[in-house]
Chains A and B, each alone.
Chain A
């Protein structure tokens, strides 16, 4: 597993124990260790599938795919988490809410999780907080050396690389979490004693360590050195490299929020020398920042067995990456969850969605290995569309630039192709207006645009709602080019059909009467399967034809005739195929 509550309380545990548990969706059984926590330990404020089955009244009856395996031995485990370790972790959590609720997915590229001496994963990279001084979260490639340590003490979590050195450590004690490698040196260890957890390699050295004692857990690499750190107290989390030498009494923070891309200026006080002779140091945050926030404006567009989700990057994290999208057929995400990890864009087409019912999605961002919080859910209902347009877009968007909800074969980038009818006619103005496909003619010449899209299917059911304020509105189907297509339209007094095959026109020999006044909408439908053609308006069949002409063509669209000042509006374009 690669997610961990990192010292947060997950459930009320009847007693400390170790037992078999499934954490990942691969079903592999691993071991969960429940440990006693101080009463002031923070809660994991997320849903967790790993629970103490003691509290579950149907533990004998119901076994989830995730969580404890009921019936496995539950031997007592006496280990207790020291409060100092919780402080070092700083409330950090490894993993996303979806990991805890729906299980994780093991990513081999991240390798097996490494654990320190107290059982917490070394991958923890707790955010940095400074008490009264300056604060840094995440990874700052600087190195720190203190003289005159603070009364508030020094807490170091995570990995410290190279040169971190203490002399005369603070009264509050020194707590170091993580792995210590190479040069960590103490002389005159504190009255509270020294506790070292995790891996300590090579040189661990203290000089005049603090009265509060020293607790060292985890990994520290190379040289960790302090000399009397400042009064305001300093907490450093994450990875610290290289070295900064100076004498600090106070630290002031300027420069706004400490986040990616900003700079923080540390300004020395009366007795401050960050480097001998220098009292101001600017830290450029050029590497890892804290975990990103929640992506915003998540939207969902239905397709055929697919949904296109789009979202905005979390506020303050324009470079968030490695998004994880979770989809499920229920808003509770309680079953049927699919995870789409490692998305490096702010939109994604999630396939495998069930046609005909609502499917939901949530997305969370990542940033250099840190996972953010899932957004609120967005939903859409996929259908077996081969072409679908809800005609929703910004006013003035041309039909060509307007992207259909679903194009051929689920393509989400297809727009309309608008062709002028032959002869002296033009294509008029075809734009989105009022969330409708709007045709207008103002140029003094009658416009007859033939707009069509590729659907990939010749056997289709085509439906569109047309608001007529012009001469003729209708559907063009089985379109190949401007000399080969069928049309079905109303002209105000009649409903009729026509076909042009190789430039030769044929019209319905006896058009049916149908009053279609301007300002009135009707829904037109064409059902074609090979030689069988059915033409309907508002669900009533007006023509049933048997004609195989052009029956293999797969483009279909809209047909309009508008004189100057006339308009037509089309909404809800739907094409399905058996």
Chain B
């Protein structure tokens, strides 16, 4: 069954954000997917205060039936005032008494997984920040009032659609391929960094494939290397395996110690079996509306 990345795009008052779930479906007919996705969008829109609405849904092909990466392809579905799904996107838009908290105020939906997910992922949790909460639902001290506006009941409707049996909704769990100790770290002439490990590299890791990884505890935790990076597996010779970073990372001083977790480039789909409403509001950074006409992209530091 193919798996899609379904991104719900929210807008209102010139601000916006997105919320993404994975959706595993038996169908590849987009028209058959519409009611399955549209129902969730409609239920999610019920949780929004004025002036926020679901601007549209971006559906991206993500994983093939065998769990490998699918060829990239996307499809947009915008809120349509006409047609079979009229009004699914702006349930509370302009509704009196349904004013929203500022967009950065969010509540948490805490997702749990279990069978039929693979055993190593059962019990994992996933946190989704739900923005655009009606003002009445959150007290000044951040407490969430599920009874206000029947928010808890509406949340259960939305969550129930996501975690009901065989709904197909879930998230992507990261697979740790290897967790290895680092023995040497050297700066290459092109600025990338190579490191070696005495760990035997499992057969699933192949050369010249990019893998996400996470360094930790290098130089007792004080190193530019610590954190996320993308690495290539180079080789295993005489019991020593070598990786090289894709990025240019400056390490002017000698680096010692540390560990590295290497993850699979594609996650494993795990279904929701339960989604609970967090009872304390959180602050979550929000950006521009997807409907906004964007200007020049902000400058970022490049390697």
Contact = CB atoms under 8 A, between A and B. Distances in A.
Nearest to A51: B74
Interface residues of A, number: 40
B18 to A, nearest CB: 8
A434 to B, nearest CB: 34
Contact of A76 (B58, B70, B291, B297): B297
A15 to B, nearest CB: 4
A61 interface: yes
B73 A62 contact: no
Given A56-B60, A332-B64, A14 B28 contact: no
Interface string B205-226: 0000011100000000000000
B295 A15 contact: yes
Interface stretch (A40-48, A226-234, A500-508, A534-542): A40-48
Nearest to B297: A15
Interface in B74-89: 74-78
A202 interface: no
Interface stretch (A5-13, A147-155, A364-372, A387-395): A5-13
B123 to A, nearest CB: 23
B198 interface: no
A32 interface: no
B192 to A, nearest CB: 14
Contacts of B65: 330
A327 B9 CA distance: 34
B58 A55 contact: yes
Interface in A93-115: 101-102
A46 to B, nearest CB: 7
Contacts of B74: 10-11, 47-48, 51, 55
A46 B75 contact: yes
Interface residues of B, number: 36
Interface string B1-44: 01001010100000000000000000010100000000000000
Contacts of B72: 49, 51, 56, 62, 64, 66-67
Nearest to A53: B72
Contacts of A330: 64-65
A334 interface: yes
A510 interface: no
A164 to B, nearest CB: 34
A331 interface: yes
B290 interface: yes
Contacts of A13: 294
Nearest to A102: B71
B246 interface: yes
Interface in B100-145: none
Nearest to A80: B293
Contacts of A65: 71
A118 interface: no
B249 interface: no
Interface string B46-70: 0000000000101011001100011
B73 A15 contact: no
A33 interface: no
B266 interface: yes
A334 B291 contact: no
Contact of A47 (B30, B64, B77, B212): B30
Contacts of B265: 58, 61-62
Contacts of A101: 73
B297 A14 contact: yes
A55 B297 contact: no
Given A12-B9, A62-B265, A51 B73 contact: yes
A44 B78 CA distance: 11
B210 A48 contact: no
A96 to B, nearest CB: 14
B296 A47 contact: no
Contacts of A10: 74, 76
Contact of B76 (A12, A17, A64, A66): A12
Nearest to A36: B293
B71 A66 contact: yes
Interface of B: 2, 5, 7, 9, 28, 30, 56, 58, 60-61, 64-65, 69-78, 210-212, 230, 246, 265-266, 290-291, 293-297
6 contacts: A10-B76, A12-B9, A12-B290, A36-B294, A57-B5, A58-B265
Given A43-B76, A46-B75, A62-B72, 5 more contacts: A47-B61, A55-B58, A62-B265, A334-B2, A335-B71
- By Cβ-Cβ distance, the 8 closest A-B pairs, closest first, are A15-B294, A47-B73, A76-B296, A61-B265, A51-B74, A15-B297, A64-B72, A332-B28
